[in-house]
Amino acid sequence: MQPVVHFKNVNKVYGTLAAVENLDLAIAPGQFVTLLGPSGCGKSTTLRMLGGFEDVTSGEIYLDGKPISHLPPNKRNVNIVFQDYALFPHLTVARNIAFGLELKGMEREAIHRRVTELLTLVALQDYAGRMPDQLSGGQRQRVALMRALAPDPNVLLLDEPLSALDAKLRQQMQIELKSIQQTTGKTFLFVTHDQEEALTMSDVIVVMNKGRIEQMGGPDELYARPRSRFVADFIGQSNFLEGRVVSVSDPVATIDWQGNSVHADVNGTSPAPGARATVALRPEALYCLPGKPEGRLALKGRIGRRVFKGAHTSLDVTLENGASLLVQLDPVALSHIEGDEVWVGWRERDAVLLAD
């Protein structure tokens, strides 16, 4: 299938700063794609180049197979929603949504039908005559979204649209945004620095770091199989065991970590015996046993800090070798207390090798 958006070797340089470097990214139609990364990694720049608000320094962007880098924003069939989604304060909800359609010269009847259809989609059909200041924050957000969707753009660009909302409303809007995307079948390109938000909504997450793509994939894939330390650390939390490769029997590598033989999935990397290697382990993949288990690797340690977090409890376990591991346990099952001696173990398949 032809990608709806295709960045081919796109670069953006500000003075001496490479804000976006060698970006190659193809987006399939109808997907919810999220650019995720820390502040300053080039997410907004990428979005703004696609929207036409920023020139590319080199490379080309294609929309439905046609190069668009030379076109002004109003000649590109994309639309953008920002965090400060200012509605026109002097126009009703219906006129706000109709605005882009009137500009296009659409007929009154057709505009009315389209506005009604969009308001119904977000259950605001009874609010057509209200003014923006008579709406709640969540309702204003929905209207802004419908205003952006009204002209039927090929792609809807969303630059951290939820970051000004409080936590509860934000979670609610995440679910709603995803459901609107699924109902309309539109391609959404969403930007956030919040990994939980990205995991909640996306079909595909593109993790960016310093202007480059670190890794892209489905949320579960990125979480279970991070390729780099950056991704393993940015999405969720990870323990890192730094050691050396002893042997490889694809797909399992044996790593020497401070005198312990640790098995890990090679995870698409090509480990060479003798080379340095890092194994990533999710805190919730670890468990604690009161005694040494038979026939399985477990490392002896002592529980340091124990923090109750509601849905789970986290433990810092200091091992005999001086290293410490972060362990997350279900509080219901947890009987360990600070100072207890424990054996920390994990299932082999939960340990993955990183490429760097």
Residues that bind Mg ion (CB under 5 A): 44
**Which residue's C-beta sits nearest to Mg ion?**
44
Query: For ligand ADP, which stretch binds (CB under 6 A), given 34-42, 127-135, 247-255, 323-331?
Result: 34-42
Which residues in the 41-60 window bind ligand ADP by CB under 6 A?
41-45
- Partner from ligand ADP, Mg ion, none binding residue 14, C-beta < 5-8 Å depending on class: ligand ADP
In angstroms, give the least distance from the CB of 159 to ligand ADP: 7
Query: Looking at 19, 207, 317, 342, which residue binds ligand ADP (CB under 6 A)?
Result: 19
Minimum separation from the CB atom of position 43 to ligand ADP (A):
3
Q: Is position 14 an interface residue for ligand ADP (rule: CB under 6 A)?
A: yes
> Residues 40, 129, 137, 290: which binds ligand ADP (CB under 6 A)?
40
- What 3-state class would DSSP assign to 231? helix
What Å distances lie between residue 156 and 20, 194, 289, CA to CA? Answer: 21, 19, 50
Rank residues 44 and 239 by Cβ distance to Mg ion and give the closer one.
Answer: 44
Residues 6 or more apart whose Cβ sits within 8 Å of residue 23:
7, 9, 10, 11, 46, 59, 211, 212, 213
Tokens representing 203? 């079909």
Tell me whether residue 44 or residue 215 sits nearer to Mg ion (CB atom). 44
φ/ψ of residue 185, rounded to 5: 70, 15
Partner from ligand ADP, Mg ion, none binding residue 249, C-beta < 5-8 Å depending on class: none
Query: From ligand ADP, Mg ion, none, which one binds at residue 164 (CB under 5 to 8 Å depending on kind)?
Result: none
44 C-beta neighbours (distance < 10 Å), count: 20
Shortest distance, position 228 Cβ to ligand ADP, whole Å = 18
Question: Of 188 and 287, which CB lies nearer to Mg ion in the complex structure?
Answer: 188
Compare residues 42 and 100 and give the one whose CB is closer to ligand ADP: 42
278: partner contacted, choices Mg ion, ligand ADP, none (Cβ within 5-8 A by kind) = none
**For 65, phi and psi rounded to 5 degrees?**
85, -5
Q: What are phi and psi of 139, to 5 degrees?
A: -65, -40
Binding residues among 232-251 for ligand ADP as defined by CB under 6 A: none
Q: Sheet containing 341-346: which strands, arranged edge to edge?
A: 286-289, 341-346, 298-308, 313-319, 324-329
From ligand ADP, Mg ion, none, interface partner of 111 (C-beta below 5 to 8 A by class): none
> Residue holding tokens 């753009």?
153
Cβ-based nearer residue to ligand ADP, 37 or 219: 37
DSSP, collapsed to helix, strand or coil, labels residue 309 as coil
Asked if the bond preceding 251 is cis, omega within 30° of 0, the reply is: yes
110 is in the binding site of which of Mg ion, ligand ADP, none (Cβ under 5 to 8 A by kind)?
none
Quick one: DSSP state of residue 348? Answer: G
- Binding region for ligand ADP (CB under 6 A) out of 11-19, 121-129, 182-190, 231-239: 11-19
Q: Which residue stretch of 40-48, 70-78, 90-98, 100-108 sits at the interface with ligand ADP (rule: CB under 6 A)?
A: 40-48
DSSP letter for each residue of 131-159: -GGGS-HHHHHHHHHHHHHTT--SEEEEE
Q: Can you spell out the DSSP letters for 147-201?
A: HHHTT--SEEEEESTTTTS-HHHHHHHHHHHHHHHHHHT-EEEEEES-HHHHHHH
Tally of CB atoms within 10 A around 294: 6
Q: CB of 309: closest distance to ligand ADP in angstroms?
A: 28
Q: Whole-angstrom Cα distance, residue 350 to residue 286?
A: 9
Residue number with CB closer to ligand ADP (45 or 313):
45
Could you list the residues that contact ligand ADP (CB under 6 A)?
Answer: 14, 17, 19, 37, 39-45
